[in-house]
Chains A and B, each alone.
Chain A
Amino acid sequence: MINKLMYKIGGGISTFIEGIFAPLNILPYAVSALVRDKREVRKTYSMLFYKEVFNVGVKALPLSLVMGLSIGALSVILFPFETISFGIDNIYGSMYVNLLFRETAPLITSLIVIIRSSIGITIELTQMSIDGEIDTLEIIGINPIQYLGSFRVFAGFLSVPILTIYFAFFSLISGMLVTYSLYNIPMNVYIAETLDVMNLKDFIILIIKTVFGGFTIFIIAIHNGLTAAKDRSMVASKTIKSIISSIFIIIIVNLLITVSFYASR
Protein backbone atom coordinates (compact mmCIF):
# COMPACT_ATOMS: atom_id res chain seq x y z
CA MET A 1 0.00 0.00 0.00
CA ILE A 2 2.71 2.47 1.09
CA ASN A 3 4.93 1.29 -1.73
CA LYS A 4 2.18 1.96 -4.26
CA LEU A 5 1.56 5.40 -2.80
CA MET A 6 5.26 6.26 -2.88
CA TYR A 7 5.48 4.98 -6.45
CA LYS A 8 2.56 7.23 -7.43
CA ILE A 9 3.99 10.29 -5.69
CA GLY A 10 7.44 9.65 -7.18
CA GLY A 11 5.94 9.18 -10.63
CA GLY A 12 3.94 12.39 -10.26
CA ILE A 13 7.00 14.39 -9.23
CA SER A 14 9.15 13.03 -12.05
CA THR A 15 6.40 13.72 -14.63
CA PHE A 16 6.04 17.27 -13.30
CA ILE A 17 9.81 17.93 -13.47
CA GLU A 18 10.03 16.37 -16.93
CA GLY A 19 7.11 18.57 -18.06
CA ILE A 20 8.92 21.70 -16.91
CA PHE A 21 12.27 20.86 -18.46
CA ALA A 22 11.08 19.15 -21.67
CA PRO A 23 10.57 22.46 -23.52
CA LEU A 24 14.16 23.45 -22.76
CA ASN A 25 15.24 20.74 -25.23
CA ILE A 26 14.25 23.21 -27.90
CA LEU A 27 17.30 25.40 -27.44
CA PRO A 28 20.14 23.00 -28.33
CA TYR A 29 18.20 21.97 -31.44
CA ALA A 30 17.90 25.59 -32.52
CA VAL A 31 21.59 26.32 -32.07
CA SER A 32 22.83 23.13 -33.73
CA ALA A 33 20.45 23.48 -36.69
CA LEU A 34 21.54 27.07 -37.33
CA VAL A 35 25.24 26.13 -37.14
CA ARG A 36 24.78 23.11 -39.45
CA ASP A 37 22.75 25.20 -41.88
CA LYS A 38 25.57 27.67 -42.07
CA ARG A 39 28.27 25.00 -42.34
CA GLU A 40 26.55 23.00 -45.05
CA VAL A 41 25.29 26.04 -46.98
CA ARG A 42 21.67 24.95 -46.54
CA LYS A 43 18.81 27.35 -46.10
CA THR A 44 16.40 24.91 -44.47
CA TYR A 45 16.48 26.21 -40.98
CA SER A 46 17.52 29.80 -41.61
CA MET A 47 14.58 30.24 -43.98
CA LEU A 48 12.08 29.17 -41.31
CA PHE A 49 13.88 31.31 -38.75
CA TYR A 50 13.80 34.51 -40.83
CA LYS A 51 10.15 33.92 -41.72
CA GLU A 52 9.28 33.66 -38.04
CA VAL A 53 11.32 36.76 -37.13
CA PHE A 54 9.27 38.57 -39.76
CA ASN A 55 6.01 37.24 -38.31
CA VAL A 56 6.84 37.88 -34.67
CA GLY A 57 8.88 41.04 -34.97
CA VAL A 58 8.33 43.00 -38.17
CA LYS A 59 4.57 42.45 -38.36
CA ALA A 60 4.18 43.57 -34.73
CA LEU A 61 5.93 46.90 -35.35
CA PRO A 62 2.76 48.94 -36.18
CA LEU A 63 0.95 47.76 -33.04
CA SER A 64 4.06 48.34 -30.96
CA LEU A 65 4.39 51.84 -32.45
CA VAL A 66 0.76 52.77 -31.66
CA MET A 67 0.98 51.35 -28.14
CA GLY A 68 4.31 53.07 -27.49
CA LEU A 69 3.07 56.46 -28.69
CA SER A 70 -0.24 56.29 -26.84
CA ILE A 71 1.12 54.98 -23.53
CA GLY A 72 4.02 57.48 -23.60
CA ALA A 73 1.59 60.35 -24.18
CA LEU A 74 -1.03 59.14 -21.71
CA SER A 75 1.46 58.69 -18.91
CA VAL A 76 2.43 62.38 -19.20
CA ILE A 77 -1.18 63.58 -19.62
CA LEU A 78 -2.53 61.64 -16.65
CA PHE A 79 0.34 62.08 -14.19
CA PRO A 80 -0.29 65.08 -11.86
CA PHE A 81 3.20 66.62 -12.20
CA GLU A 82 2.03 69.96 -10.76
CA THR A 83 0.90 68.49 -7.44
CA ILE A 84 3.14 65.45 -6.94
CA SER A 85 6.89 65.43 -7.32
CA PHE A 86 7.95 62.96 -4.60
CA GLY A 87 10.75 65.39 -3.80
CA ILE A 88 12.50 64.41 -7.07
CA ASP A 89 14.17 67.14 -9.06
CA ASN A 90 13.83 65.76 -12.54
CA ILE A 91 10.39 64.20 -12.25
CA TYR A 92 9.83 63.84 -16.03
CA GLY A 93 12.92 61.73 -16.64
CA SER A 94 12.35 59.70 -13.45
CA MET A 95 8.79 58.92 -14.44
CA TYR A 96 9.79 57.76 -17.92
CA VAL A 97 12.67 55.56 -16.78
CA ASN A 98 11.01 54.09 -13.67
CA LEU A 99 7.53 53.59 -15.00
CA LEU A 100 7.78 53.17 -18.77
CA PHE A 101 11.29 51.96 -19.56
CA ARG A 102 11.78 49.54 -16.69
CA GLU A 103 8.31 48.16 -16.15
CA THR A 104 5.69 49.01 -18.76
CA ALA A 105 7.76 48.51 -21.92
CA PRO A 106 8.72 44.84 -21.28
CA LEU A 107 5.27 44.01 -19.94
CA ILE A 108 3.26 45.61 -22.75
CA THR A 109 5.57 44.18 -25.43
CA SER A 110 5.20 40.72 -23.93
CA LEU A 111 1.42 41.15 -23.99
CA ILE A 112 1.55 42.25 -27.65
CA VAL A 113 3.57 39.14 -28.51
CA ILE A 114 1.22 36.90 -26.54
CA ILE A 115 -1.80 38.35 -28.35
CA ARG A 116 -0.22 38.23 -31.82
CA SER A 117 2.03 35.20 -31.81
CA SER A 118 1.45 32.95 -28.84
CA ILE A 119 -2.24 32.45 -29.63
CA GLY A 120 -1.49 31.83 -33.30
CA ILE A 121 1.26 29.30 -32.58
CA THR A 122 -0.78 27.37 -30.01
CA ILE A 123 -3.79 27.13 -32.33
CA GLU A 124 -1.65 26.11 -35.32
CA LEU A 125 0.27 23.41 -33.46
CA THR A 126 -2.82 22.09 -31.66
CA GLN A 127 -4.59 21.82 -35.00
CA MET A 128 -1.59 19.98 -36.43
CA SER A 129 -1.64 17.58 -33.47
CA ILE A 130 -5.34 16.92 -34.00
CA ASP A 131 -4.88 16.34 -37.75
CA GLY A 132 -2.05 13.85 -37.11
CA GLU A 133 0.59 16.05 -38.76
CA ILE A 134 2.79 15.89 -35.66
CA ASP A 135 2.64 12.07 -35.85
CA THR A 136 3.58 12.30 -39.53
CA LEU A 137 6.71 14.27 -38.70
CA GLU A 138 7.71 11.77 -36.04
CA ILE A 139 7.17 8.85 -38.39
CA ILE A 140 9.48 10.31 -41.02
CA GLY A 141 12.16 10.87 -38.39
CA ILE A 142 11.76 14.59 -37.79
CA ASN A 143 11.52 15.74 -34.21
CA PRO A 144 8.51 18.10 -34.14
CA ILE A 145 10.31 20.30 -31.64
CA GLN A 146 13.14 20.74 -34.11
CA TYR A 147 10.91 21.42 -37.11
CA LEU A 148 8.13 23.45 -35.51
CA GLY A 149 9.48 24.71 -32.23
CA SER A 150 13.12 25.61 -32.12
CA PHE A 151 13.23 28.37 -34.74
CA ARG A 152 10.18 29.99 -33.18
CA VAL A 153 11.81 30.13 -29.75
CA PHE A 154 14.91 31.59 -31.32
CA ALA A 155 12.83 34.16 -33.20
CA GLY A 156 11.10 35.16 -29.95
CA PHE A 157 14.44 35.34 -28.23
CA LEU A 158 15.60 37.88 -30.80
CA SER A 159 12.39 39.77 -31.61
CA VAL A 160 10.94 40.58 -28.19
CA PRO A 161 13.93 42.64 -26.94
CA ILE A 162 14.01 44.59 -30.22
CA LEU A 163 10.25 45.22 -30.08
CA THR A 164 10.60 46.42 -26.49
CA ILE A 165 13.31 48.90 -27.40
CA TYR A 166 11.15 50.07 -30.30
CA PHE A 167 8.19 50.53 -27.91
CA ALA A 168 10.38 52.36 -25.37
CA PHE A 169 11.76 54.68 -28.05
CA PHE A 170 8.34 55.75 -29.30
CA SER A 171 6.94 56.19 -25.80
CA LEU A 172 9.92 58.47 -25.13
CA ILE A 173 9.16 60.49 -28.28
CA SER A 174 5.46 60.89 -27.51
CA GLY A 175 6.17 61.67 -23.82
CA MET A 176 8.65 64.33 -24.94
CA LEU A 177 6.19 65.94 -27.36
CA VAL A 178 3.34 65.97 -24.83
CA THR A 179 5.58 67.35 -22.06
CA TYR A 180 6.62 70.12 -24.41
CA SER A 181 3.07 71.00 -25.41
CA LEU A 182 1.51 70.72 -21.89
CA TYR A 183 4.30 71.92 -19.60
CA ASN A 184 6.48 73.78 -22.04
CA ILE A 185 9.52 71.68 -21.14
CA PRO A 186 12.11 71.96 -23.95
CA MET A 187 12.73 68.66 -25.72
CA ASN A 188 16.46 68.71 -25.09
CA VAL A 189 15.80 69.17 -21.36
CA TYR A 190 13.43 66.20 -21.37
CA ILE A 191 16.00 64.02 -23.11
CA ALA A 192 18.78 65.22 -20.81
CA GLU A 193 16.65 64.49 -17.73
CA THR A 194 15.85 61.00 -19.03
CA LEU A 195 19.47 60.18 -19.83
CA ASP A 196 20.49 61.52 -16.44
CA VAL A 197 18.25 59.02 -14.64
CA MET A 198 18.83 56.05 -16.97
CA ASN A 199 21.97 53.98 -16.62
CA LEU A 200 23.49 50.84 -18.13
CA LYS A 201 21.99 48.67 -15.40
CA ASP A 202 18.46 49.68 -16.47
CA PHE A 203 19.23 48.71 -20.03
CA ILE A 204 20.73 45.35 -19.08
CA ILE A 205 17.78 44.51 -16.83
CA LEU A 206 15.36 45.46 -19.62
CA ILE A 207 17.17 43.05 -21.95
CA ILE A 208 17.12 40.27 -19.32
CA LYS A 209 13.37 40.73 -18.82
CA THR A 210 12.60 40.73 -22.52
CA VAL A 211 14.83 37.82 -23.46
CA PHE A 212 13.23 35.80 -20.71
CA GLY A 213 9.78 37.01 -21.85
CA GLY A 214 10.35 36.00 -25.47
CA PHE A 215 11.74 32.64 -24.48
CA THR A 216 8.91 31.88 -22.02
CA ILE A 217 6.04 32.95 -24.27
CA PHE A 218 7.18 30.78 -27.16
CA ILE A 219 8.16 27.76 -25.11
CA ILE A 220 4.76 27.73 -23.41
CA ALA A 221 2.89 28.11 -26.71
CA ILE A 222 4.91 25.38 -28.44
CA HIS A 223 4.73 23.01 -25.50
CA ASN A 224 0.95 23.39 -25.25
CA GLY A 225 0.46 22.96 -29.00
CA LEU A 226 2.64 19.88 -29.32
CA THR A 227 1.17 18.12 -26.30
CA ALA A 228 -2.47 18.51 -27.38
CA ALA A 229 -4.56 15.36 -27.54
CA LYS A 230 -6.56 14.51 -30.66
CA ASP A 231 -9.71 16.29 -29.55
CA ARG A 232 -11.26 19.44 -31.06
CA SER A 233 -11.91 20.96 -27.62
CA MET A 234 -8.12 21.09 -27.17
CA VAL A 235 -7.87 24.13 -29.46
CA ALA A 236 -9.71 26.36 -27.01
CA SER A 237 -8.39 24.82 -23.81
CA LYS A 238 -4.73 24.79 -24.89
CA THR A 239 -4.93 28.37 -26.19
CA ILE A 240 -6.43 29.64 -22.93
CA LYS A 241 -3.84 27.69 -20.96
CA SER A 242 -1.06 29.20 -23.06
CA ILE A 243 -2.28 32.77 -22.59
CA ILE A 244 -2.89 32.49 -18.86
CA SER A 245 0.38 30.69 -18.09
CA SER A 246 2.41 33.15 -20.19
CA ILE A 247 0.83 36.24 -18.62
CA PHE A 248 1.16 34.81 -15.12
CA ILE A 249 4.83 33.85 -15.52
CA ILE A 250 5.78 37.11 -17.25
CA ILE A 251 4.18 39.24 -14.49
CA ILE A 252 5.71 37.22 -11.66
CA VAL A 253 9.19 37.13 -13.19
CA ASN A 254 9.15 40.85 -14.07
CA LEU A 255 8.14 41.58 -10.50
CA LEU A 256 10.85 39.34 -9.07
CA ILE A 257 13.54 40.86 -11.29
CA THR A 258 12.45 44.40 -10.37
CA VAL A 259 12.34 43.63 -6.65
CA SER A 260 15.68 41.86 -6.62
CA PHE A 261 17.51 44.58 -8.56
CA TYR A 262 15.82 47.77 -7.38
CA ALA A 263 14.17 47.14 -3.98
CA SER A 264 17.39 47.61 -1.99
CA ARG A 265 17.77 51.22 -3.13
Chain B
Amino acid sequence: MTYRTLTALVGALALAGCASTTTVDDYRPTSEPIDIEPGEKVAILGRRDAGHYETDTDFVECLADRMGQSDFQIMSEQEFIDALYPWFEPRTAPKHLKRLQRLMQEPVLQEKIREENLRYLVWLDGEVESHGATGAMSCGMGPTGAGCFGYTSWDKEAVFEAIVWDLVDLTEEARIQVDSEGTSYVIGIVAPIPLLTRVESQACSGLGKQLRSYFSHEGR
Protein backbone atom coordinates (compact mmCIF):
# COMPACT_ATOMS: atom_id res chain seq x y z
CA MET B 1 0.00 0.00 0.00
CA THR B 2 2.80 2.35 0.96
CA TYR B 3 4.59 1.56 -2.31
CA ARG B 4 1.41 2.33 -4.30
CA THR B 5 0.88 5.60 -2.47
CA LEU B 6 4.47 6.63 -3.12
CA THR B 7 4.18 5.71 -6.81
CA ALA B 8 0.93 7.67 -7.07
CA LEU B 9 2.53 10.66 -5.36
CA VAL B 10 5.57 10.61 -7.67
CA GLY B 11 3.28 10.17 -10.68
CA ALA B 12 1.09 13.08 -9.63
CA LEU B 13 4.12 15.26 -9.05
CA ALA B 14 5.57 14.22 -12.41
CA LEU B 15 2.37 15.23 -14.16
CA ALA B 16 2.23 18.50 -12.25
CA GLY B 17 5.90 19.09 -13.00
CA CYS B 18 5.46 18.45 -16.69
CA ALA B 19 2.49 20.78 -16.87
CA SER B 20 3.02 24.28 -18.09
CA THR B 21 0.78 27.20 -18.92
CA THR B 22 1.13 28.70 -22.36
CA THR B 23 -0.43 31.98 -23.39
CA VAL B 24 -0.41 33.15 -27.00
CA ASP B 25 -1.27 36.81 -27.70
CA ASP B 26 -1.38 38.00 -31.23
CA TYR B 27 -1.99 41.18 -33.13
CA ARG B 28 -2.97 41.29 -36.77
CA PRO B 29 -4.47 44.17 -38.72
CA THR B 30 -6.82 41.73 -40.45
CA SER B 31 -8.26 38.26 -39.90
CA GLU B 32 -7.68 37.23 -43.52
CA PRO B 33 -5.06 34.51 -44.08
CA ILE B 34 -1.65 35.79 -45.18
CA ASP B 35 -1.22 35.44 -48.94
CA ILE B 36 1.39 32.93 -49.94
CA GLU B 37 1.73 31.33 -53.34
CA PRO B 38 2.97 27.77 -53.85
CA GLY B 39 6.77 27.77 -54.02
CA GLU B 40 7.12 31.01 -52.08
CA LYS B 41 9.30 30.81 -49.01
CA VAL B 42 9.10 31.95 -45.40
CA ALA B 43 12.38 32.57 -43.58
CA ILE B 44 12.70 32.37 -39.80
CA LEU B 45 15.41 34.44 -38.19
CA GLY B 46 16.41 34.76 -34.54
CA ARG B 47 17.57 38.08 -33.15
CA ARG B 48 21.23 38.12 -32.23
CA ASP B 49 21.82 41.80 -31.53
CA ALA B 50 21.12 41.95 -27.79
CA GLY B 51 24.19 41.82 -25.60
CA HIS B 52 22.94 39.72 -22.70
CA TYR B 53 21.05 37.00 -24.57
CA GLU B 54 20.53 35.49 -27.99
CA THR B 55 17.46 33.84 -29.40
CA ASP B 56 18.23 30.15 -29.09
CA THR B 57 19.12 28.49 -32.40
CA ASP B 58 17.34 25.31 -31.27
CA PHE B 59 14.13 27.30 -30.77
CA VAL B 60 14.42 28.78 -34.27
CA GLU B 61 14.95 25.27 -35.68
CA CYS B 62 12.02 23.92 -33.65
CA LEU B 63 9.73 26.62 -35.05
CA ALA B 64 11.01 25.96 -38.58
CA ASP B 65 10.16 22.26 -38.11
CA ARG B 66 6.67 23.09 -36.82
CA MET B 67 6.00 25.47 -39.68
CA GLY B 68 7.60 23.13 -42.18
CA GLN B 69 4.60 20.85 -41.78
CA SER B 70 2.66 23.22 -44.05
CA ASP B 71 2.23 23.57 -47.79
CA PHE B 72 4.72 26.41 -48.17
CA GLN B 73 8.50 26.27 -48.01
CA ILE B 74 10.60 27.28 -45.05
CA MET B 75 14.04 28.75 -45.57
CA SER B 76 16.44 27.92 -42.77
CA GLU B 77 18.10 30.67 -40.77
CA GLN B 78 21.61 29.92 -42.10
CA GLU B 79 20.38 29.66 -45.67
CA PHE B 80 18.64 33.03 -45.34
CA ILE B 81 21.55 34.96 -43.81
CA ASP B 82 23.93 33.43 -46.36
CA ALA B 83 21.65 34.27 -49.28
CA LEU B 84 21.42 37.93 -48.21
CA TYR B 85 24.93 38.30 -46.76
CA PRO B 86 25.86 40.67 -45.16
CA TRP B 87 22.53 42.45 -44.64
CA PHE B 88 21.06 40.21 -41.94
CA GLU B 89 24.13 39.82 -39.72
CA PRO B 90 23.78 40.99 -36.08
CA ARG B 91 25.48 44.29 -37.00
CA THR B 92 23.45 45.03 -40.13
CA ALA B 93 20.03 43.37 -39.74
CA PRO B 94 17.11 45.83 -39.83
CA LYS B 95 15.48 45.98 -36.39
CA HIS B 96 12.46 47.99 -37.52
CA LEU B 97 10.24 48.03 -40.57
CA LYS B 98 11.48 51.50 -41.62
CA ARG B 99 15.04 50.22 -41.78
CA LEU B 100 13.89 47.24 -43.83
CA GLN B 101 12.07 49.57 -46.22
CA ARG B 102 15.24 51.62 -46.63
CA LEU B 103 17.37 48.51 -47.11
CA MET B 104 15.03 47.12 -49.73
CA GLN B 105 15.44 50.22 -51.85
CA GLU B 106 18.62 48.55 -53.09
CA PRO B 107 17.71 46.96 -56.46
CA VAL B 108 20.27 44.21 -55.97
CA LEU B 109 18.54 43.11 -52.75
CA GLN B 110 15.09 43.20 -54.33
CA GLU B 111 16.45 41.07 -57.17
CA LYS B 112 17.93 38.55 -54.71
CA ILE B 113 14.62 38.31 -52.80
CA ARG B 114 12.82 37.64 -56.09
CA GLU B 115 15.44 35.14 -57.21
CA GLU B 116 15.14 33.20 -53.92
CA ASN B 117 11.33 33.38 -54.07
CA LEU B 118 11.32 34.73 -50.53
CA ARG B 119 8.07 36.27 -49.40
CA TYR B 120 7.96 36.53 -45.60
CA LEU B 121 10.41 36.89 -42.78
CA VAL B 122 9.54 35.78 -39.25
CA TRP B 123 11.68 37.70 -36.79
CA LEU B 124 12.00 35.76 -33.58
CA ASP B 125 13.11 37.30 -30.33
CA GLY B 126 13.11 35.84 -26.84
CA GLU B 127 14.70 33.59 -24.28
CA VAL B 128 14.05 31.07 -21.55
CA GLU B 129 14.68 32.15 -17.98
CA SER B 130 14.86 30.15 -14.77
CA HIS B 131 14.06 31.72 -11.39
CA GLY B 132 12.57 31.08 -7.97
CA ALA B 133 14.64 28.06 -6.98
CA THR B 134 13.46 26.56 -3.66
CA GLY B 135 14.11 23.47 -1.57
CA ALA B 136 17.30 21.60 -0.85
CA MET B 137 18.84 18.35 -1.84
CA SER B 138 21.92 16.63 -0.58
CA CYS B 139 23.76 13.77 -2.12
CA GLY B 140 26.22 11.56 -0.33
CA MET B 141 28.37 8.52 -0.76
CA GLY B 142 29.35 5.93 1.85
CA PRO B 143 30.90 2.48 2.01
CA THR B 144 27.49 0.86 1.61
CA GLY B 145 26.24 3.01 -1.25
CA ALA B 146 25.31 6.46 -2.49
CA GLY B 147 22.09 8.43 -2.65
CA CYS B 148 20.37 11.78 -2.81
CA PHE B 149 17.65 12.99 -0.48
CA GLY B 150 15.57 16.11 -0.58
CA TYR B 151 13.52 18.13 -2.95
CA THR B 152 14.21 21.16 -5.11
CA SER B 153 12.12 23.11 -7.58
CA TRP B 154 12.47 26.11 -9.84
CA ASP B 155 10.26 28.05 -12.22
CA LYS B 156 10.98 28.36 -15.92
CA GLU B 157 9.53 30.94 -18.24
CA ALA B 158 9.86 31.08 -22.01
CA VAL B 159 8.89 34.41 -23.57
CA PHE B 160 9.15 34.77 -27.33
CA GLU B 161 7.86 37.31 -29.81
CA ALA B 162 7.48 36.66 -33.53
CA ILE B 163 7.01 39.47 -36.02
CA VAL B 164 6.04 38.61 -39.58
CA TRP B 165 7.32 40.96 -42.27
CA ASP B 166 6.27 40.87 -45.88
CA LEU B 167 9.50 41.19 -47.85
CA VAL B 168 7.73 42.15 -51.06
CA ASP B 169 5.10 44.65 -49.85
CA LEU B 170 7.39 45.71 -46.96
CA THR B 171 4.65 45.65 -44.35
CA GLU B 172 4.17 44.05 -40.95
CA GLU B 173 1.67 41.22 -41.24
CA ALA B 174 1.46 39.93 -37.68
CA ARG B 175 2.94 40.13 -34.22
CA ILE B 176 2.61 37.22 -31.80
CA GLN B 177 3.81 36.89 -28.26
CA VAL B 178 3.97 33.55 -26.54
CA ASP B 179 4.58 33.09 -22.84
CA SER B 180 5.01 29.63 -21.38
CA GLU B 181 5.51 29.05 -17.65
CA GLY B 182 6.13 25.92 -15.66
CA THR B 183 7.86 24.48 -12.64
CA SER B 184 10.55 21.83 -12.67
CA TYR B 185 11.24 19.50 -9.74
CA VAL B 186 13.96 17.14 -8.70
CA ILE B 187 13.01 14.69 -5.98
CA GLY B 188 15.77 12.79 -4.27
CA ILE B 189 14.62 9.37 -3.08
CA VAL B 190 17.96 7.57 -3.17
CA ALA B 191 18.23 8.34 -6.87
CA PRO B 192 17.44 11.89 -8.02
CA ILE B 193 14.22 11.92 -10.08
CA PRO B 194 14.02 14.93 -12.39
CA LEU B 195 10.54 16.12 -13.39
CA LEU B 196 11.28 18.84 -15.87
CA THR B 197 8.86 21.26 -17.43
CA ARG B 198 9.22 21.71 -21.18
CA VAL B 199 8.31 25.37 -21.53
CA GLU B 200 10.48 25.94 -24.61
CA SER B 201 8.82 23.07 -26.44
CA GLN B 202 5.36 24.31 -25.39
CA ALA B 203 6.16 27.85 -26.55
CA CYS B 204 7.45 26.50 -29.87
CA SER B 205 4.33 24.39 -30.33
CA GLY B 206 1.99 27.30 -29.51
CA LEU B 207 3.80 29.75 -31.74
CA GLY B 208 4.15 27.27 -34.60
CA LYS B 209 0.46 26.42 -34.50
CA GLN B 210 -0.53 30.09 -34.52
CA LEU B 211 1.84 31.01 -37.34
CA ARG B 212 0.76 28.04 -39.42
CA SER B 213 -2.86 29.08 -39.07
CA TYR B 214 -2.05 32.52 -40.54
CA PHE B 215 -0.55 31.03 -43.68
CA SER B 216 -3.07 28.21 -43.93
CA HIS B 217 -5.03 27.83 -47.15
CA GLU B 218 -7.54 25.70 -45.29
CA GLY B 219 -9.01 28.73 -43.56
CA ARG B 220 -9.96 30.40 -46.84
Chains A and B are bound partners: no
A residues within 8 Å of B by Cβ? Answer: none
